Amino acid sequence: MRKVVIVPETGECLTEIFDGDRIIRGSSIEALKELESAPKGETYTKIYRKVIPMIVDCKLTAAELLVFMYLASNLRYISNVAKFPNGKLIMRENMQHDLRLSEITVKRSLYRLIKEGLIVEANTIEGKVFIVNPFVMSVGDRINKTVYDLFRKSKWARW
């Protein structure tokens, strides 16, 4: 069935509407004029609102939270693996250097984050990787089935 846009007063056919086209109200267009876009080339990491109180209840130390946010700020789409933008794996030594933390502080922080179910450390073909729990934080709206299964029984899973 053909869909068209018609001027009510004249009955004139302005254009055809095709599958996949979206209809936007004039008021929506005006509202969009009041918004600015995020900086070009920037990505974002989302944290689910329901987990914020749960993270607070974990009573993470400042160092533990710092390590978690460092990993979370370097997540890869779909895999939730923490890697640098150039694809290089994030190692403990990187965290020590970049966060100016001692080796033992990074080690204890990672241990605690693993214990809380916020991250896992896994051996892969590439080497050891840190994977952030996708039920807490992720990039985009899709997650690898293997990663999903890895965390689906954690206290953070809600579905």
pTM attached to this predicted model: 0.76
Domain residues for 76?
46-151
Whether 38 is in a domain gets the answer no
State whether 27 and 50 are in the same domain: no
pLDDT on residue 150? 92
pLDDT on residue 31? 79
Whether 15 is in a domain gets the answer yes
State whether 97 and 144 are in the same domain: yes
State whether 85 and 26 are in the same domain: no
State whether 17 and 83 are in the same domain: no
State whether 119 and 142 are in the same domain: yes
Q: What is the 3-state secondary structure (H, E, C) of the chain?
A: CCEEEECCCCCCEEEEECCCCCCCCHHHHHHHCCCCCCCCCCCCCEECHHHHHHHHHCCCCHHHHHHHHHHHCCECCECCEEECCCCCECCHHHHHHHHCCCHHHHHHHHHHHHHCCCEEEEECCCCEEEEECCCCEECCCCECHHHHHHHCCCCCCCC
State whether 74 and 114 are in the same domain: yes
Per-residue pLDDT of the chain (159 residues; tens, 9 = 90+): 788 888 888 888 888 888 888 887 778 778 777 777 777 777 788 898 999 999 999 999 999 999 999 999 999 988 999 999 898 999 999 999 999 999 999 999 999 999 999 999 999 888 899 999 999 999 888 888 999 999 999 999 876
pLDDT on residue 159? 61
Whether 157 is in a domain gets the answer no
Q: How many domains does the chain have?
A: 2
pLDDT on residue 25? 79
Whether 159 is in a domain gets the answer no
State whether 67 and 17 are in the same domain: no
State whether 87 and 135 are in the same domain: yes
pLDDT on residue 40? 78
Whether 37 is in a domain gets the answer no
Query: What CATH number does residue 94 fall under?
Result: 1.10.10.10
